[in-house]
Structure 1
Amino acid sequence: MSDINDRIDRFQLLLQQLGLTDDQYVSHFRNAKIDKLVIEKRAKKWHFYFLFDEIIPFQIYQLFTTKLMNSFSHIASITYSINVQNALVTDSLIRDYWSSVIEQMQGISPPLVKLLNEQVPKIQGNKLTIHVRNEMEGLAIKRKYAQMITDSYQYFGFPPLVLETEIKQEESNAEYEQFLQAKRLEDQERGKQALLDIQKMEAEKEANDIGIPSGPLTIGLTIKDDSDYRRIEEIVDEERRITVEGYVFFAETKELRSGRTLLTFKITDYTSSILVKMFSRDKEDAALFQLVKKGMWLRARGSIQNDTFVRDLVMIGNDLNEIKPIERQDTAKADEKRVELHLHTPMSQMDAVSSVANLVGQAKKWGHKAIAITDHAIAQSFPEAFGAGKKNDVKILYGVEMNLVDDGVPIAYNPQDILLDDATYVVFDVETTGLSAVYNTIIELAAVKIHDGEIIDRFESFANPHHRLSATTINLTGITDEMVQDAPEIDIVLRKFVDWTGDSILVAHNASFDVGFINVGYQKAGLKKSTNPVIDTLELGRFLYPELKNHRLNTLAKKFDIELTQHHRAIYDAEATGYLVLKMLKDAGEKGITNHNQLNDNMGQGNAYQRARPYHCTVLAQTEVGLKNLFKLVSIAHINYFYRVPRIPRSVLQKHREGLLIGSACDKGEVFEAMMQKAPEEVEEIAPFYDYMEVMPKEVYAHLIERELVNDEKSLEEIIANIVRLGDKLEIPVVATGNVHYVNPNDKIYREILVGSQGGANPLNRHKLPDVHFRTTNEMLDCFRFLGEEKAKEIVVTNSNKIADMIDVIKPIKDDLYTPKIEGSDEEMREMSYSMARRIYGEELPEIVEARLEKELKSIIGHGFAVIYLISHKLVKKSLDDGYLVGSRGSVGSSFVATMTEITEVNPLPPHYVCTACKQSEFFNDGSIGSGFDLPDKDCPTCGIPYKKDGHDIPFETFLGFKGDKVPDIDLSASRC
């Protein structure tokens, strides 16, 4: 007896500790006991076993359990079990606990949640009755959720209950029921509000007790801006007192045996990172430590020590201040924000790192009205971009960066009616200081003259570049400064070369490069552009010998056993190319090519797109028609023109150009490359293909200087300025774009890791990656200030908004369901279903079979799903015919139509017998049998043969929902027999 009294007394002490000493609370806990308390010290868990005299009202239960959890939360995590001795269950108690019972149920479907929330259950003895709208709902609730509901009531201390369902009839007093419902909801709201008020008061009291500030977090002293601030990368040794600040990417607290609390967090300023440790001095510090979380920006002051446990330098913190995040701001006026028209997401394979949501969200923060998505060759990010644009109210411009190729690359230039056997050839080669005919110069020009298959003359000369040669040039060509320092001027060399060549056919390997340098040199020397006919042995080799892995000069020379003494010296290359062209022209003659003007007859035929060098171009969908054409182009590039990368021939792009805007893209685009390597006049022939031309910040082109493709920053500025001037001349908008691959400059390291992981397979690893973060308007204006403020604003703000305004608001994800169209699919599905059903169940179908077929077909055909079923049927049939076993997975087994059309082997009808001979059947739809396979063996009374047992009693709603309008999700798995 004394033990029982002790347990009662302990419970009364608990009530005092919880502050529940008023009569209105105590009266509900008469004879209540703490039956047992189980403590797990290591896990810091306490579990109370309570024994109550009666079921307490729900609001008192909520208040009691909430206070119980909060009062001991600083010691352990609290759980509890409740048993009741005299459990008198009333309708009011059932009703009060009902909402909480539903909240505890996991995985319940939204329609059933709505159904349960909209009614008041009734109790009679131990039978709990809820209303349903039809038998199907009642069956679903009893099978899946009855145990969950009764278990939840037992958790609150109720005795074991039995759940029954009853089909709802029209109520005679609807107004009274509505009143009860409204009152119940009002009582619940009042109870919840009272509980929230108590929790708020307790939180405020606790905060006041320990002095937690309402503003930014401060632990210790306030750190002034003029304190000894260091970048973390500068910390290399132990120091007494310094300050760091940055982003917290890890934080945790631990209670030590001494009773003090240890806070450890890792902080980065994006130059490096450091671990900070802080030990609490009092209860206030311990409470404040809990507020340090991942994602905060903090300033920390303390000493740097070598930690033997971590085996690294750590900061032992003394003072900690929360600071505002260091974020970039777009300071342009609201109506003068730029629009980014060249941006990559992680769908650009192994290249970009920031998610679409982050990129679009950043555009929203900066006030940009639109943003373009231009992944490499694919449109897979469009759905996510559509959602992000809708969420942030940012217009999404849907585009792709494509690999554009010419339909055929010429073998001959300036074609003329000249017999190849009778012609005289000048086979030449140039060595240069770089790849740009405009910004670099020829340092060696050599040639051999061939007639009747013999070399009849040679030409060789160095040219003075008037500057020291780069290490790259010396290593590549073997030409040194000493060789060229006393050489003649290039214009003198070129004048001699013009006279020497006469009207001969010029031959070069990669002739567009060599002839380009020659023509620019002629122009600078005051000479006319060459009109000589030209043969390019590179393209001739690609045409004649497509089986070769590559068509470099040394590869072709090896094929014909031609000696190539010193590759990349002009005279040796020219002589080797001379012998090579004789061999190739002989092979061309065997293909019927005997005249110079016949060499281009086969241009574009066969796999010419594989031989062409791809240029990047940006393609933006301007209209809904354009979006459809964009999808077509993506598919065509992958299916018909994939060679190393998906390519799109220029003629195909032109064919599907309606509703599209074409931009000139990055440094791999033909406009920039042509302006970098050729005279501006030649670029005028290329630029009109594009609707707008792109220029990018100098930092984006920095790798070109590193690779010596551009001489210096001044030359780079000149190339950009020439493109801008060309745009003005041709009245083509020039737009500043960022080639964005991540949001912030600090994110560059993630792209470096991603690209670096690919090794030599990715050409980006051959140079330092450029800075391609998402730039603000003011940052982009600063990048192009060398053009003048007015012109910079035009290409950064005015023209980018102009292009964005030219594009319609497009929805790549449609609201309606657009199923494929197959003529007669509805009738075919109906006929196929009934035909199979009659083969199994007889000409006169049992009522239960016909009713199920009609119910399903009405839903399937009515919502346009018949074609989906038909396609699935054809897939299964084709797979089976080809020797593959096919199994359906998931809820499609609940569709009887799927069974009758042989999509699945699962029969969802109630368990039944059916005779394979006379078609007699016997169904069990009273729920007594779960599966037809569990039926006992039985013979057909008419035929005397064993019945076939089938049926699994699965409602059709499991597949297509209660309204039969869910889009079918038919999963199939195939395996080879």
Structure 2
Amino acid sequence: MENDRYFLFAKLLDQLKWHPESAKDLLAKTAIEKVEIHQKSAKWDFWLASPEIWPFQLFQEFEQRLQQSFKQIAKVEISFKSVSSAELTDRLLGDYWSWVVEHSGVKSPLLHELFNNNLPYLKDQRVLLLADNEIIKHFLVTQALGPIEDGYCQLGFPKFAIHTMIDQSKSQEKIDQFKQQQGKSDEQLAQKALAAIQQKNQTVKKGPAAQPIMEQGKVILGKKIDQQNLRQLVGITEEEKSVTVQGYIFDKEIRTLRSSRQLLILKITDYSSSMVVKKFSRNDEDEAGFAALAEGQWVKVRGNVQEDNFLRDLVINAYDINQVTHQKRIDQAPADQKRIELHLHSNMSTMDATNSITDYVKTAAEWGQKAIAITDHSDLQAFPEAHAAGEEYGVKILYGVEVNLVDDGLPIAYNLQHQDLNEAVYVVFDTETTGLSARYDKVIELSAVKMQHGAVIDQFEEFIDPGHPLSKTTIDLTSITDDMVRGSKSEAEVFKLFQDFCQDCIIVGHNATFDVDFMNTGYQRHNLPLIKNPWIDTLPLARLLYPQLKSFRLNKLTKLLNVKLEHHHRAIYDAQATGYIYFAMLKEAE
């Protein structure tokens, strides 16, 4: 059974296709203690046993490969059986520090300071960690150190306590000494990596100062990325263990931390979305690579996605960054068949474009296009720049503009017929509804008066049961209650009666397009013929006759024309008032 545990780990390495020669002996002594599978959360916990604590680089590569292999199945977490006999060293504590802090589960803005500026170190067999002030010390003691200590134990470290001290000069000298030692060690590792790269015919130039690792003139930070299944940035919406993306660098920043390490911050876009990429330097070659990357370049990035405590947004923490060549878009049409863009907006079109007309003209020239048209929104400000760009790049400029046309002649009457308005019989109607949508809301009251020569000769008034309780807003606005509509006729019955009532009459309404839309939608719902009668809207008629008014609501017009309006927002009273208003306006229109 004991051998089975080692056999299972060897099989796992076979699955990962990973057999690093430098760690062959250590991996042969590593076994799988157990595997816990959590089906509901889709998570696998691997418990490993090793005679010694793994070097961090070995652990990091193993974790990345394991996460990548299982990403279609589940999330993976790795734990090591504690190696009680292991000797703690500054190197081991420092190498694992960033990873342990990042995966500790502690959420606080102070964690950013802890992550970037502090490293634990050994003194008199005790693990010490410096704090800049009492506030950070209190945060460490009360919130952070417990989960961080547990994180080290999970990676096979013997159980230990981290003691916190306020930073003093002698302690700072100890930190600086450790960093120097770590830098020397990192330099030795970098030289070994450099020798391996040279054996593979990769181009590396070594001068007085450290040079970035290059391949065919492109910067390589970390490992070369051969993976082709690139993710679009727009599809990254939550934390993930490993993603590979490609993007254009439109902003770059390098920060030097108090720990002397550098932090590279890139903002990249693949034009589906944009994200921030962060990477910490480990040696001089990394820092030289940071300097070699520049805005305007394309890079391929592999790393994990986490919510950054400082930016409060998702960030890619990069393992590897490779500069890549990105083919520029070209116009492949034959020289005598080049297109001419006839609809182009420049940055003079507000909220519509970001590039200047010069950028477009230059691109058109590069693509061999002979002319280009500018058609900004209601704006001619780009014309002088367009003229200068056309002269510089030899491209003909077609000057245009998109203008806004306002229809100042809205119809007053619809379904036109030749009739004598003074002798006509009118049906002046109004509706009360449960809302503003003719498709989703219903008519609950339909009222009308039939008028001729300015006098009421008949009237129509019906409630309609909508089949559901009325909202408080509807009740407050219309003064119609559930008791008033409950048990009333159906919509189909009322609409059929109203069509008979309107026979051979001209229909009139105030803002009638709203009411007619409700009526025609209801007629269509019940397979009744749509309105074919001529109908007049008094709202545009009022706007034509009384341009001095600021409001054309029914109550404003009744006040202007001395028409009595009772119970505004009840259909029968609104219909009567609309009728009297119409006849008053008809006389004035004559």
TM-score (norm 2): 0.47
Bigger strand fraction:
2
Taking structure 1 as the reference length, what is the TM-score of the superposition? 0.31
